[in-house]
Structure 1
């Protein structure tokens, strides 16, 4: 009953339209009713009507939940205004539309650029796991950056698709509050805005142990996700469809035996999960990987230097090792 009551309260808090005070009043009324009913059930003194009303509220909320549908046509925040599109892909060469390449001065002051880019997947040379800590050591945003032989980097990031003026809520993510989007961006945009503008603490880990075909397979998996989200919107879910679980789901397509782990949810420890799987630089203890992988200070020192991607990787273990075809 407690879980059911909290679920109804969450739907009232995050999905009920209208002024905040109306939601507050309805939540208080529901909380009082649910608590009274739960106590009565515990004492085996619940009457027919309170139980029936409680059950009716659950059914009505379930119908409400099912009727919620994700959309593509809201007034989106600038940084998620465009959908990533796979213009063409012949198995080797891919053309992407709406690759993000913003210049950020503050969160609210930026030059918006969405660009078309072409990539040769035979030139893929590396993949890096990037963790950006914004809420203590337990929670981090997870990104994957692919490196090419010509020195370019392309970062994929699954994010909530915020409406203009909206902000992220981990709790709201349980109640279909947000759609999700896949962003492909330059590191000078998506990494720099986190380290240099938002003040997040950012770490890079070189992924090892993949053949060229496996590396290409992981990239192609992101293309599949882009096509899926371009064709039909989907809800972000804090538990099952977030920035870390998508990396796990995509990686499972090339390594089906990946085990489930609590660190898929406690994303701040995802790098340790990757270490335990043996996909980080071998022969280096994790404390060293983490210390040398912390790029926050190097990113801030690099500023708008065009060599940003090279400068932030100085000293990161394994960055000199290329994936063999």
Structure 2
């Protein structure tokens, strides 16, 4: 008859075995993904799938046959470790055959108060949705920055969205920033691939009409616009953080990561730790990012409840009625909360604060 001590020992042993099995399963799954997305062939290509299948088969044989390391789980983990060592040698680069919309590596030079943005994207689009590539240099002055707006592309409903920050330089115009997966020719976005080393991270400054029209007019993805409820000084801090991040990527390319370095968590990562707001799951699963910003007082609301604010912030109808770049920014703001009067000078912070 077993004693209480024996029963406790059995529970502990089985718990340890279960934990080891879970770790082994996760490691094996991660390794298959690493081979599929980051193998020597094209991501998700036939060669990578074959290598993943051969690795899985070889791992099973090693687990069942080899006697060098006791325990099936340890043998499988050893096989995972071999792939992981090779995976660590894969380095990001700015020199690949990029798709046209990601072709140029942007950077910013500063001369006192003057900011020169190099390789600003300003694509135009035909009525059929074809892109007409154009890159340019723009100059703005930091002391002319009076505020910032956020456009939320809710392409994934309540789960996934893409934010675009638009910096308002008053009479000097607006300049938008989009943090993207930098995709090569033949690549398309993959949420799972974003967990591996499939894409580089890219900060792209560009014309607002380019970034928004490709989403509202070409892809017909639902987009919403809000004014940040923050003073100009905070908008300038955010811009300088983004400029530093872009310049760093020019010299030190970095992998995009769907968790730690995506289109929203990158803003948080670039901010000094002591200045970061508390983490919210909606920063990561960002389909409700605008609701989080509303709750934190980061948006001009006109005293509207969130549902009403979001409803009036929907811009697709006006964007599609104004397909030309000229006057587009005014068209998508006309009559909306936050754009009929100067933004409030409140202490609330943009999303990276």
Q: Normalising by the residue count of structure 1, what TM-score does the alignment of the two structures yield? A: 0.89
Deviations 1:39-61 (A, max 9, x none): x9xxxxxx837445412212112
Rounded to whole Å, the distance in 2 between the matches of 1:130 and 1:148 is 17
Deviations 1:156-213 (A, max 9, x none): 11111111121111111111111111100111111111111122111111110x2222
1:113 equivalenced with 2:134 (yes/no): yes
**Aligned residue number for residue 293 of structure 2:** 274
Residue 310 of structure 1 deviates from its aligned partner by: 0.6
Distance 1:6-1:102 versus aligned 2 partners, 3 A rule: same
Rounded to whole Å, the distance in 2 between the matches of 1:148 and 1:21 is 49
Match of 1:245 among 254, 262, 265: 265
**Aligned residue number for residue 4 of structure 1:** 27
Residue 305 of structure 1 deviates from its aligned partner by: 5.2
For the pair shown, the structure with the greater C-alpha radius of gyration is 2
Q: Normalising by the residue count of structure 2, what TM-score does the alignment of the two structures yield? A: 0.82
Rounded to whole Å, the distance in 2 between the matches of 1:139 and 1:102 is 25
Distance 1:102-1:278 versus aligned 2 partners, 3 A rule: same
Map 1:43-82 → 2, pairs under 5 A = 48=70, 50-82=72-104
Residue 80 of structure 1 deviates from its aligned partner by: 0.8
1:230 equivalenced with 2:250 (yes/no): yes
Deviations 1:5-29 (A, max 9, x none): 1110110110112373343344345
Distance 1:110-1:58 versus aligned 2 partners, 3 A rule: same
**Aligned residue number for residue 167 of structure 1:** 188
**Aligned residue number for residue 14 of structure 1:** 37
Higher relative contact order (CA 8 A, sep 6+): 1
Match of 1:141 among 154, 162, 182: 162
1:300 equivalenced with 2:323 (yes/no): no
My pick for the range that moved more, 125-134 or 107-116, is 107-116
Residue 36 of structure 1 deviates from its aligned partner by: 9.3
Residue 31 of structure 1 deviates from its aligned partner by: 4.8
Q: Which 5+ residue runs of structure 1 have no aligned equivalent?
A: 41-46
Deviations 1:130-165 (A, max 9, x none): 111223331011111111211611111111111112
Rounded to whole Å, the distance in 1 between the matches of 2:92 and 2:144 is 36
Aligned length: 316
